[in-house]
Structure 1
Amino acid sequence: MSTHPDAILDALDPEQREVATALRGPVVVLAGAGTGKTRAITHRIAYGVRTGVYTPTAVLAVTFTARAAGEMRTRLRDLGVAGVQARTFHAAALRQLGYFWPRVIGGAPNRILEHKAPLVAEAARLVGVSVDRVAVRDLASEIEWAKVSLVAADDYERRALADGRTAPAGFDHQQVARLARAYEDVKSERGVIDFEDVLQILAGILAENRAVADEVRGQYRHFVVDEYQDVSPLQQFLLDQWLGDRNELCVVGDPSQTIYSFTGATPHYLLGFRKRFPAAQEIRLVRDYRSTPQVVNLANEVLRRGGVSGALELRAQRKAGPPVSFMAYDDDEAEAAGIAAKAARLIANGIHPSEIAVLYRTNAQSEAFEAALADAGIGYQVRGGQRFFQRKEVRDAVVLLRGAARSADPDQPMPEQVRDVLTTAGWSEKAPAARGAARERWDAMQALVGLADDLARTGPATIASLVAELEERAAAQHAPKVEGVTLASLHAAKGLEWDAVFLAGTSEGLMPISLAETDDAVAEERRLLYVGVTRARVHLEVSFARSRTPGGRASRKRTRFLDGLWPEPDGGRRTAPSRGRPRALLTGEHDAALFEALREWRRQVAVEIDKPAYTVLTDAVLAAVAEVRPSSASQLARIQGIGPAKIDKYGAAVLAVVARADGAKNFS
């Protein structure tokens, strides 16, 4: 790479180059999906360093996910720039708070509370509020919303009512306020702080302690904030303290990708940036390098037909690809099976499984796709599951690699040495034929092999440098790519992209979600669909199922967001048949006692897996079981709404409930 500063600009389009050369703030970059915003801002930082405008250690680049921060550091390193701090808000704040705590507060910093749930449950007991696991989760989320929105517990009731915010189900605003106060008291007694406290305490120190503020502001002189449409009032308050009275700030965001309002995020700061900084330079990135014209046109139309305010109209830069596919399936099982079959065909045609994703609105929808992919022999990973670097096989492999680094043969290529080391941990050149845990372990170690190959391709590399890379990635939770189809909620898919995307379950009630009752909430659901569409590079299928269960009433309608875009007015161009099997004939009269016993069993399961009860089995299925009273898996399989995956997971337990009821009946 040329060391001349202008060489950094050679790979940029005119608008990206404008971003890269706008070295003095304030600057606001409105960047649509796939327009190369990360490229633009990392080249801006690199150009600023190369021209001498920036000192690397004086730049703080902030983003919202550890993965994005890791990606930014990797790109800066590839551009030959070291020393720039690229971190999440929480990581940057935690680093500074740990440094200043002994001086300002005294003693060692308080322990960070990783999960709110135990203390929320204790607070609920203290104020006499009855809670279960689901309620604790919802209350913890509401406390988090209040804190990131800078709403004190004493002011929660007033603010929530003024904003028209609904309290978590089963509670009123006054109860939530009392519980929030108790939660803060419990934290103080335990000597712990939560993640929101990290930002609050640091911002408070900077606001009140001039000496500390001057030290931080003397260290960091230039700020870049990515995904600025997702900033919360608390994060903005901390950013204000970092800045002081300066304006050396570059923010990047897309109002069309605002999808986290429920967490306290708001596009207000992005949309109002030029009002706060009238002299700010505004640059728009609209050239979409990610997706084909077919995908881009659909994305643009989704926003245009919804009249989304501030939406950027993307301009596709890739050559034409296949048309977007629209599919209406008979039922959820058929949809999952159909998508698995098409994923298999894409893989057979040369697309890597890791370049395929199935996206859906709620996490509860993943189970059907997991079962269908497993039945098809296709590996998959559920985004939001166990973190890569917390897997036992990964931790063990890193230990082995760390040991091997001390006695590595300098004459043997690093990737070969890595393969030798991982072979002792159970890795093999050929993937195991069976699915399940064995294949998941192999996939994880294969990702380490792939990372070793990638490092070796970019220049001289040793096992020691690989271990250093892994340690840096582990700290940032920036996992290497695992070879498997990705299953993810639309929220979890933000910031990612794949060659092929299956956008499933796009029916009313799921898209928009039935909980979206206000105009603002529905508008956010439309933006969520837009995010899903723009994850696809080439292949995109949008689908829904007319019925929840095989043979059920076809009462579902495709989402209103695709009005005028779906090929046929009835909501489907083609219909994929469901997998048929003989069904039990029902009269509608069931054993009430058995039905209640089944409902109690389902309630216990739902608590254990921390999911809504209906995701286990619906009332209609339980009623059918209570009427048929099956005594075998084959009889259970004849009941509508309980497919192979549900039978594998719950069949034995359901049959046991029926057997106990029959035994009690016979005994009496």
Structure 2
Amino acid sequence: MMAESVLEGLDPEQRAVAEAVQGPVCVLAGAGTGKTRAITHRIAYATLTGVVTPQRVLAVTFTTRAAGELRSRLRQLGAPGVQARTFHAAALRQLTYFWPRVVGGDPPKIIEKKAGLVADAARACRLSLGRTELRDVASEIEWAKVTQNRPEDYPAAVAKAGRRPPAEVVDVARVYAMYEQLRRERNLLDFEGMLELTAAVLTEHREVANQVREQYRHFVVDEFQDVNPLQKLLLDTWLGDRDDLCVVGDPNQTIYSFTGASPSHLLDFTREHPDAKVVRLVRDYRSTPQVVRLANAVIGQARRAAPDAPGGRPAGDHGLELVAQRETGPEPVFNEYDDEIAEADDAARRARKLIDEGVPAREIAILYRINAQSETYESALAAAGVPYVLRGAERFFDRPEVKQAVFMLRAATRVGADAETDGMGLIQTVRHVLSGAGFSDRPPEGAGAVRARWESLAALAQLAEDIAADDPTAGLPDFVADLEERAAAQHAPPLEGVTLASLHAAKGLEWDAVFLVGLVEGTLPIVYAETPAQIEEERRLLYVGITRARVHLSLSWALSRAPGGARHRRPSRFLHGLTGKAATLAPPRADRTKRRAAKGPQPCRVCGRPLTAAVERKLGRCEDCPSELNEELLLALKEWRARISDEQKIPAYVVFTDATLQAIAEHNPESREELARIPGVGRVKLDRYGDEVLTLCGH
């Protein structure tokens, strides 16, 4: 490929990035502006013009999927030798290579999940932590480590950062210290320690640093607004006294400050590198002018707020106001509902309508602030007969049916399936092999495990069609090679179903139609966002959600949680002044599930049948009717009850019965009044335990 051909088709700003082949370079890239296109063309242009050899470029990103996409694009552009890795993958590769020389002995085993070791540390400290608490303490330890705070520094660091720890500060510090002690005794290394140890090896062994710096002369770092202090330390160690660095990021999409990420590295890049070339990408090729207008309006509020706290600096100071490049489309729709059930039912109905109008299900997403919101939408979509995919659940290539299919496809290449199915082509060959795993052209009736298995296999069949469209000469070995590369990078093909995902999990993705749901005060912004910086990060979450939509965008909220509940919720403050300017506010929909008060037996809130059994009356539904049970909350309630039972020396059922705890977990009461309405609570127990129960419920 000729070097000049790499520049063809780039807009003026993207071309400016591609031609800036030597650092330092800072690319401020808005959502949908083609940042990946710009940086891959920059790398390819630099290698094709001989400025740098591909093997001396290290492109760093945050996910294995993004790294895999970078490598794929660079191969297509004629730069196949470029290393594209995550921070952790690059560090592990270097640490593994140099370990025998600089340390010797058996290398430590990498800890992929901290929860088990945190549980051991808590027990050693004689602390009883539930599953949710263990997860939260593990996250807190990660934050402390990436911000370079030792156990003895943790209490002061928490106070300075204004964090709300998941347990008593002194207890978290004790568990943190014991976690580190056990980790060393067992010769274990976590991901944060991996980065820190790699930086230490490079710092303390000059010959190692020289070898690494000779190998990698040019660096590109994507999503630079999400770099944490530990990653920045490693990057600086890699660079040494050089400045051939290109960073790419969007201050408007800074949504991981709570994990230790700091946008200051991006915002202050020109202070650290005064001679840096700065390029702004603002031409939005993803979304319609209507979606872009709303996104600009939401983020524009941040400029007016202009908080002084670190991490809350207004991104508008950096001129990233998007300019739409697509043709006009429908206006965003704002909907208000009486309750969450009505909100979810209408989202499912409208998703069904879009599918019937020709929008593929995989091009529709329902996005929410917290994962606990998904259950209502799973139920609504299933009831409407709409297939869905829960993002963040089991990884695609870890599913049993996918493992089996990949094994069969790999085996087919060895026995010459292409010869056996001569004339069928890649698409028919893959479908022929997948039929042995249970795949058929017609999906099974209904939902459940059988449907989920079919959809996994259908995604593989669709991937074969996509590869055949890109390369008509591709055969089964090419397809299997692509699958294996995707599996290594956890780059799953799109499944044919509406995506359910949190706003954090949606970053970096896009769909034709997006439903942003649950936009109420206390959820977005989340209730524990208190400082100006935390509030602004919540605003940026909404901005990220809006900019995921290409054409259709819906924003909605419910005034109460359950049918018939008090309508005391308020729409998110981030929507103030926008519902009448950017779109038309739709009238509230009638609540089909709301029932008039009537004499006689209490009706089931799901099917309406009169309830006679005591347990059913307590739950408010028939025992065999579907529930909206928050299993994590139920587990936390049972652990709390066990602790109270031990402390007060009374049987657990005297605190609350199992049925009452299940009813609490299903209703998730938000106030003492709502809690009091649950049978089995009563005034005495409300006064005695009410505040603790509401705290467990997150209120």
Normalised TM-score (structure 1): 0.88
Encode CA deviations 1:350-404: one digit per residue, 9 max, x unaligned: 0000000000000000000000000011111111100001000000111111100
User: Shift of the alpha carbon at 1:99?
Assistant: 1.4
Paired position in structure 1 for 2:565: 552
Q: 1:99 to 1:598 in 2, by over 3 A?
A: farther
Would you say 1:158 and 2:156 are equivalent positions?
yes
Q: Which moved more, 1:23-32 or 1:605-614?
A: 605-614
Paired position in structure 2 for 1:580: 593
Q: What CA distance in whole angstroms lies between the structure 1 residues aligned with 2:397 and 2:679?
A: 45
Would you say 1:504 and 2:509 are equivalent positions?
no
Q: 1:11 to 1:241 in 2, by over 3 A?
A: same
CA contact (8 A) 2:27 2:248 kept: yes
3-state SS of the aligned residue for 1:576?
A: coil
Q: What CA distance in whole angstroms lies between the structure 2 residues aligned with 1:149 and 1:322?
A: 44
Would you say 1:358 and 2:371 are equivalent positions?
no
Q: What amino acid does structure 2 have at the position aligned with 1:319?
A: E
Encode CA deviations 1:315-362: one digit per residue, 9 max, x unaligned: 000011001100001110000000000000100010000000000000
Normalised TM-score (structure 2): 0.85
Structure 2 residue runs of 5 or longer lacking an equivalent are: 307-313, 601-613, 621-628, 641-660, 683-699
CA contact (8 A) 1:567 1:573 kept: no
After the TM superposition, which residues 160-199 of structure 1 pair with which residues of structure 2 at under 5 Å, given as runs? 160-168=158-166, 170-172=167-169, 174-199=170-195
User: Shift of the alpha carbon at 1:482?
Assistant: 0.8
Q: What CA distance in whole angstroms lies between the structure 2 residues aligned with 1:535 and 1:610?
A: 39
CA contact (8 A) 1:594 1:626 kept: no
Q: 1:20 to 1:441 in 2, by over 3 A?
A: same
Q: Which moved more, 1:52-61 or 1:232-241?
A: 52-61
Q: What amino acid does structure 1 have at the position aligned with 2:26?
A: V
Q: What CA distance in whole angstroms lies between the structure 2 residues aligned with 1:344 and 1:296?
A: 25
CA contact (8 A) 2:132 2:632 kept: no
CA contact (8 A) 2:44 2:79 kept: yes
Would you say 1:446 and 2:458 are equivalent positions?
yes
User: Shift of the alpha carbon at 1:515?
Assistant: 0.7
Q: What CA distance in whole angstroms lies between the structure 2 residues aligned with 1:603 and 1:305?
A: 35
Q: What CA distance in whole angstroms lies between the structure 2 residues aligned with 1:254 and 1:209?
A: 35
Q: Which moved more, 1:442-451 or 1:341-350?
A: 442-451
CA contact (8 A) 1:326 1:567 kept: no
Would you say 1:368 and 2:381 are equivalent positions?
no
Q: What amino acid does structure 2 have at the position aligned with 1:171?
A: E
Q: What CA distance in whole angstroms lies between the structure 1 residues aligned with 2:184 and 2:198?
A: 17
Q: What amino acid does structure 1 have at the position aligned with 2:67?
A: A
3-state SS of the aligned residue for 2:679?
A: helix
User: Shift of the alpha carbon at 1:475?
Assistant: 1.2
After the TM superposition, which residues 357-436 of structure 1 pair with which residues of structure 2 at under 5 Å, given as runs? 357-408=365-416, 409-410=418-419, 411-412=422-423, 413-436=425-448
Q: What CA distance in whole angstroms lies between the structure 1 residues aligned with 2:348 and 2:222?
A: 35
User: Shift of the alpha carbon at 1:153?
Assistant: 1.6
Q: Percent identity?
A: 55
Paired position in structure 2 for 1:6: 4
**Which of 295, 298, 313 matches 2:294?**
298
User: Shift of the alpha carbon at 1:126?
Assistant: 1.4
Q: Which moved more, 1:470-479 or 1:500-509?
A: 470-479
Q: What CA distance in whole angstroms lies between the structure 2 residues aligned with 1:376 and 1:111?
A: 47
After the TM superposition, which residues 337-356 of structure 1 pair with which residues of structure 2 at under 5 Å, given as runs? 337-356=345-364
Would you say 1:310 and 2:319 are equivalent positions?
no
Encode CA deviations 1:174-216: one digit per residue, 9 max, x unaligned: 2222211100111122221111111111111111111111111
Encode CA deviations 1:627-662: one digit per residue, 9 max, x unaligned: 799xxxxxxxxxxxxxxxxxxxxxxxxxxxxxxxxx
Paired position in structure 2 for 1:605: 634
User: Shift of the alpha carbon at 1:406?
Assistant: 0.9
After the TM superposition, which residues 82-101 of structure 1 pair with which residues of structure 2 at under 5 Å, given as runs? 82-101=80-99
User: Shift of the alpha carbon at 1:25?
Assistant: 0.2
**Which of 24, 27, 30 matches 2:25?**
27
User: Shift of the alpha carbon at 1:616?
Assistant: 3.5
**Which of 248, 254, 261 matches 1:252?**
248
Paired position in structure 2 for 1:456: 468
Q: What amino acid does structure 1 have at the position aligned with 2:328?
A: A
Q: 1:609 to 1:423 in 2, by over 3 A?
A: farther
Q: What amino acid does structure 1 have at the position aligned with 2:162?
A: G
Q: What CA distance in whole angstroms lies between the structure 1 residues aligned with 2:75 and 2:296?
A: 34
Paired position in structure 2 for 1:477: 490
User: Shift of the alpha carbon at 1:91?
Assistant: 1.4
Q: What CA distance in whole angstroms lies between the structure 2 residues aligned with 1:454 and 1:85?
A: 26
Q: What CA distance in whole angstroms lies between the structure 2 residues aligned with 1:603 and 1:9?
A: 52
3-state SS of the aligned residue for 1:492?
A: helix
Q: 1:6 to 1:603 in 2, by over 3 A?
A: closer
Structure 1 residue runs of 5 or longer lacking an equivalent are: 588-592, 630-668
Q: What CA distance in whole angstroms lies between the structure 1 residues aligned with 2:25 and 2:44?
A: 16
Q: What CA distance in whole angstroms lies between the structure 2 residues aligned with 1:98 and 1:213?
A: 15
Paired position in structure 1 for 2:221: 225
Q: 1:601 to 1:499 in 2, by over 3 A?
A: closer
Q: What amino acid does structure 2 have at the position aligned with 1:343?
A: A
Encode CA deviations 1:561-601: one digit per residue, 9 max, x unaligned: 111111299x95311112235466699xxxxx999x98999
Q: Which moved more, 1:345-354 or 1:113-122?
A: 113-122
Encode CA deviations 1:117-147: one digit per residue, 9 max, x unaligned: 1111111121222211111111101000011
Encode CA deviations 1:21-45: one digit per residue, 9 max, x unaligned: 0000000000000000000001111
Q: 1:534 to 1:472 in 2, by over 3 A?
A: same
User: Shift of the alpha carbon at 1:165?
Assistant: 2.7
Q: What CA distance in whole angstroms lies between the structure 2 residues aligned with 1:371 and 1:188?
A: 46
Number of aligned residue pairs: give it.
620
